[in-house]
Amino acid sequence: MNTLPSTELVNPHTEGIDRLPTDELLRRINDEDATVAAIVRGCIPEIARAVDAIAEGMRSGGRLIYVGAGTSGRLGVLDASECLPTFGVSVEQVFGIIAGGERALTKAIEGAEDDRQAGADAIDNARVGQHDVIVGMSASGGAPYVRGAIARAKERGAVTVGVACATPAPLCDDADIAIQAIVGAEVLQGSTRLKSGTAQKLICNMLSTGAMVRIGKTLGNRMVDVQATNIKLVARAQRLIADLGQTDAETAARLLTESGGSAKVGIVMARKGVSADKARELLDAAGGFLSAVLGAKSLVN
């Protein structure tokens, strides 16, 4: 009986790729990549459960914490870091933990994934509690570091999510919510930065984006909590105020400044004709949901 995770099997569709012309080699890779989205789609019921758990936890002051090793860890840290400017969350609300620490982000520290106790210690150090959701990611579903983190998180009362791309996947047995996107044999045997990495990236996109939509970080498909931290994002925030605030570009630029760089506050100021402080008060009363502040007028044509 084969007990290897499916990601460790040899892929018959890419046998002999070293002898193929470059364009055909790339087509074989692309053919394999093209299967991933449909596989992730089959996991949507479980992903939805996780999204709702994350949103519920964050509404109660909890956090979204990714934990992983190697490629999986880097993807978690990447998704978390991109939530900060996109949705205006703090580094304390959404973050990633990677086996081997920050050094592992740029340098492979493969042995770090084997330390189960280090995973548990990382959860203790993060002071994980009952409102937190811990997303453990391991392509093979067996990384001891990640399993140790999930086990300790459960002991501390957190909701746990296991994301794996293989079968068998003990991590998914450990977690409260199991997201098992079985991508099959990799293009290169065991190279889980390929299809598995793509699947995990898609799942992270859904988890964070879905949860942020559920807690009011968007209006429709507009990123109204975007942080104006560079030239591109300042311009985007000004366009949001002009568009959703139904005002001109000059006024939008002024309101962005008066709002302290918050597009959401600037939109309320424009639509309601109120000060920045009053706009924040209205948003706070509405739980941060811009649609609730604007009511029927929030609809965008």
Distance between CA atoms of residues 170 and 145, nearest Å: 12
Phi, psi of 163 (to 5 degrees): -120, 115
Annotated catalytic residue within 24, 82, 92, 258: 82
46 belongs to the catalytic site: no
- Residues for the chain: how many in total? 301
24 belongs to the catalytic site: no
From the list 124, 119, 126, 13, the residue with the least C-alpha distance to 72 is: 119
Tokens found for residue 176: 């409260």
Distance of CA 293 to the CA centre of its chain: 27
Question: What own/partner pairs with CB < 8 Å and gap ≥ 24 does 194-197 have?
Answer: 194/29, 194/32, 194/33, 195/32, 195/33, 195/35, 195/36, 195/165, 196/7, 196/71, 196/139, 196/165, 196/166, 197/71, 197/72, 197/75, 197/139
Annotated catalytic residue within 32, 46, 113, 186: 113
Residues with catalytic function: 82, 113
